[in-house]
Amino acid sequence: MSYVTTSTCRTCGAFCPIDVTIDGDHIEKVEGNPRAPLYEGFICPKGRALAADQNNPKRLMQSLKRMPDGYYEPISSEQLVEEITAKVKVLLDNYGPSTIAGYNGSGPLTEQQAGVTMMSSFLRAIGSDLHFGANTIDQPGINIADALHGRWDGGAIRPENLDLFLIVGGNPIISKQYFPQNPGQQLKRNIKNGMKLIVIDPRRTETAKRAQVHLQCIPGEDPTIVAGLIHLVIANGTLDRKFVDLNTQGVAELAEAVSKFTPEYVCQRAGIAEKDLREAARLIGESKRGHLGSGVGPSMATRGSLTSYLILCLQTLRGFWARAGEEAIQPKVLLPRRKFKAQPNAPTPAWGFGKKFRVRGLQATVAGLPCSALPEEILMPGEGQIRALFMHAGALVTWPQEELARKALESLELLVIHDVDFSPTASVASYVIATKKQLEIPVITQLMEVATYMHPGYGWSDPYAAYQPALVQPPAGSDLLESWQIYYRMAQKLGLQLHCSPLLGADPNRAVALDMTREPTTDEIYEAMCRDSAIPLAEIKKYPDGNVFDAARETIAARDADCSARLELANRDMLAELAVVRAESAADRRGINSEFPYQYVPRRLANMNNSTRLPDGVMKTRYNPAYMHSSDLAHLGISPGEVIEIRSRHGSIISIADVDDNMRPGVLSMCHGYGNGTGKDYDPRRDGANVNRLLNWDDDYDPYHGMPRMGALPIAVTRVAT
């Protein structure tokens, strides 16, 4: 007899509430939950595919061990813990803790929330501070800019009150970033209520199609365009004088720095029409309650920190921040209460923390440890060489420079990968830990509250939270672990004490010491992670559809009488970088020439979340097409569906061309997370292509967080004779 129960989809950060039809331990169907608040029953194709995913015949049922001949043999979870612990012990004894690192990717982070805390606690317990993540190949500039500019303690304006939203290189309708709950409907409703939408993107995206103004720019020109907008807003006399005088410093220096970013210069350089730029500036200047954000586009195009910094400056110049007496967005529910105040938090240092890596002189920044140091720190002999890595990610298809990633991961003395199937990255591991899938694990929504500390585009503007239990048992005959279990069991065997706490926003001294004599349940770990939460977890558990908890609403308090903090509009490093932009030759910087006449840019696809793979036959296309404008395809003599070669100064891939007249001519758009095949068996129509082969860690990397050029990349495109 089948029945319907509720859960939360954790495939991406939107955390949509779902109705799950179950028969015994078989998931029959997954639909949106229309009774849940805020989401209006929304679900995307990936959410619906959870049923097929759960029943994927290719899923890992047992953990695997790499044998000396390179083949993998099943290993029991008991034996696996035994062997991995023994290897860790040898490494600790011989080389010390700084040779052991952990890495959490993004998909696994949302699905295995207890895993992150426990990996982190384990590393701390052995004395290693090497806990890496994907943030420094994502949007680290947002964190850098926040620190350099200072944060408005009242937070952003509530989305339903916005009269303007500007997005630079992001596509919320597909990615959900900035409008995580049913973005299409939210945007539609806001626009109907008078909100103006401005999109800066070389592609006429699903979001751009709804925009009043779409600046379909040349990739990589975001600092130029935002500087031009700042120039116009100041020149038009539309800055919020009162707000600026009370809360900021450096407006005169900023005005001077952008003065040469005249509309003529900006539009000529960025390939956009002057009337559109002026219209955008007029809308920004006229609006009272705006929000300006950015996605991965400008971050991947290099100078992401500068773009994010300029966006914050523009937002502040217009006073687009929530004021005293208003209801705050992103209040905490499963985290300790956070108070909001209508005043600035002064800037803080952004980079140069802790150990200096041997690679490119990189250090930790407010965006975390530099991912770009990791492959070479694994390969480089000597003091500090990383010899063991615990990884929960798809690195081989999500890190730039696949060849180097492969070489580094294969050279490790111990590489432990958590995985749900035998992914490309699993295929280089010493051990692959067969991991439970999301509907076999209880869920809390805490992680997306944590995410608000790192990125403004996640979480809920209302105090929403949900908990649902695990819905089904893993398949009969399987031997699976949740990702946290290995860390607890190793700690137990090594006689170490682990602690459990939320990742951010909590008092570290209040972390819960776990009972190391009896293994906790996931629910008990969640209890510990939610210690001191604004609403007790037990209360949240009473609402199987999730709920908005009015008791957790927060009103923004008035400014302290003695507040003297100011938001910084003229950070020296940022303005120096801006001066470099203005002084350089745009053509040289872009690197377009007769050998590489096109530009590659990143994008997300509706049917794929990073490198999380869906079972065969669920989606119409399995691969990641290379989208170009029809005029470019005609010029190259390529028809849609034909096999092409894409070549950059660093490498080449074989892909399948597709037509999209929403592209700016001269630009090729392609999604990451696919394809790691080579040789005769490789079929780009089955496997897709790994765009990370086109990239290189040394290419235009950021001097602080180390993220290299991952977009606005010069490429050549040719037809491959079949």
Ligand X SMILES: Nc1nc2c(c(=O)[nH]1)N[C@H]1C(S)=C(S)[C@@H](COP(=O)(O)OP(=O)(O)OC[C@H]3O[C@@H](n4cnc5c(=O)[nH]c(N)nc54)[C@H](O)[C@@H]3O)O[C@H]1N2
Q: How far is CA 133 from CA 139, 374, 490, 668, in A?
A: 12, 10, 21, 28
Distance in Å, CB of 610 to ligand X, minimum: 3
Question: CA–CA separation, 318 vs 482, rounded Å?
Answer: 47
Residue 336, SS3 per DSSP: coil
Which residue from 132, 126, 220 is spatially nearest to 405, judged by alpha carbons? 132
Comparison of 250 and 591: residue with beta carbon closer to ligand X: 591
Q: How far is CA 308 from CA 237, 444, 456, 719, in A?
A: 23, 31, 12, 37
Distance in Å, CB of 180 to ligand SF4, minimum: 8
Distance in Å, CB of 448 to ligand X, minimum: 12
Distance in Å, CB of 418 to ligand X, minimum: 5
Binding mask 213-252 for ligand X (x = CB under 6 A): ----x-xx-x------------------------------
Q: Which of ligand SF4, Mo ion, ligand X, none sits in contact with 706, Cβ below 5 to 8 A by type?
A: none
Q: Which of Mo ion, ligand X, ligand SF4, none sits in contact with 16, Cβ below 5 to 8 A by type?
A: ligand SF4
Comparison of 170 and 463: residue with beta carbon closer to ligand X: 170
**Site membership for ligand X, residue 297 (CB under 6 A):** yes
3-state secondary structure 180-191: CCCHHHHHHHHH
Question: Residue 576 burial (CB < 10 Å; 0-12/13-18/19+)?
Answer: exposed
Among 311, 314, 386, 420, binds ligand X (CB under 6 A): 420
**Site membership for ligand X, residue 169 (CB under 6 A):** yes
Residue of closest CB approach to Mo ion: 138
Among 120, 372, 423, 492, binds ligand X (CB under 6 A): 423
Residue with tokens 């890992």: 60
Distance in Å, CB of 14 to ligand SF4, minimum: 4
Which element (helix H / strand E) includes 78? helix 77-95
Comparison of 81 and 671: residue with beta carbon closer to ligand SF4: 671
Q: Which of Mo ion, ligand SF4, ligand X, none sits in contact with 220, Cβ below 5 to 8 A by type?
A: ligand X
Comparison of 225 and 239: residue with beta carbon closer to ligand X: 225
Distance in Å, CB of 582 to ligand SF4, minimum: 40
Which residue from 375, 459, 362 is spatially nearest to 425, judged by alpha carbons? 375
DSSP 614: P
Q: Which of ligand X, ligand SF4, Mo ion, none sits in contact with 15, Cβ below 5 to 8 A by type?
A: ligand SF4
Question: CA–CA separation, 104 vs 120, rounded Å?
Answer: 10
Q: Which of ligand SF4, Mo ion, ligand X, none sits in contact with 140, Cβ below 5 to 8 A by type?
A: none
Residue with tokens 């061990």: 65
Residue of closest CB approach to ligand SF4: 47
602 close to 711: Cβ distance less than 8 angstroms: yes
Q: Which residues contact 340 (CB under 8 A, 6 or more apart)?
A: 153, 154, 155, 322, 328, 331, 554, 555, 556, 557
Question: CA–CA separation, 637 vs 173, rounded Å?
Answer: 33
Which residues would be at the binding site for ligand SF4 (CB under 6 A)? 9, 11-12, 14-16, 43-44, 46-47, 176, 609
Q: Which of Mo ion, ligand X, ligand SF4, none sits in contact with 223, Cβ below 5 to 8 A by type?
A: none
Phi, psi of 561 (to 5 degrees): -60, -35
Q: How far is CA 604 from CA 66, 181, 295, 667, 673, in A?
A: 33, 17, 11, 15, 10
Residue with tokens 């994927």: 56
291 close to 152: Cβ distance less than 8 angstroms: no
Q: Which of ligand SF4, Mo ion, ligand X, none sits in contact with 244, Cβ below 5 to 8 A by type?
A: none
Region from 64-72, 187-195, 256-264, 392-400 binding ligand X, contact rule CB under 6 A: 392-400
Q: Which of ligand SF4, Mo ion, ligand X, none sits in contact with 402, Cβ below 5 to 8 A by type?
A: none
Phi, psi of 502 (to 5 degrees): -65, 160
Q: Which of ligand SF4, Mo ion, ligand X, none sits in contact with 711, Cβ below 5 to 8 A by type?
A: ligand X
Region from 138-146, 262-270, 338-346, 370-378 binding Mo ion, contact rule CB under 5 A: 138-146
**Site membership for Mo ion, residue 138 (CB under 5 A):** yes
Distance in Å, CB of 49 to ligand SF4, minimum: 9
Q: Other CB atoms closer than 10 Å to residue 709's CB: what's the count?
A: 26
Compute the half-sphere exposure of residue 200: CA atoms within 13 Å on the CB side of its CA.
35
Comparison of 305 and 330: residue with beta carbon closer to ligand SF4: 330
Residue with tokens 């507040």: 563
Q: Which of ligand SF4, Mo ion, ligand X, none sits in contact with 28, Cβ below 5 to 8 A by type?
A: none
| Residues at the interface with ligand X (CB under 6 A) | 12, 105-108, 111-112, 134, 137-138, 168-172, 174-177, 200-203, 205, 217, 219-220, 222, 295-298, 300-301, 392-395, 398, 418-421, 423, 425, 435, 601-604, 606, 608-612, 669, 672-673, 691-692, 710-712
| Residues at the interface with Mo ion (CB under 5 A) | 106, 138
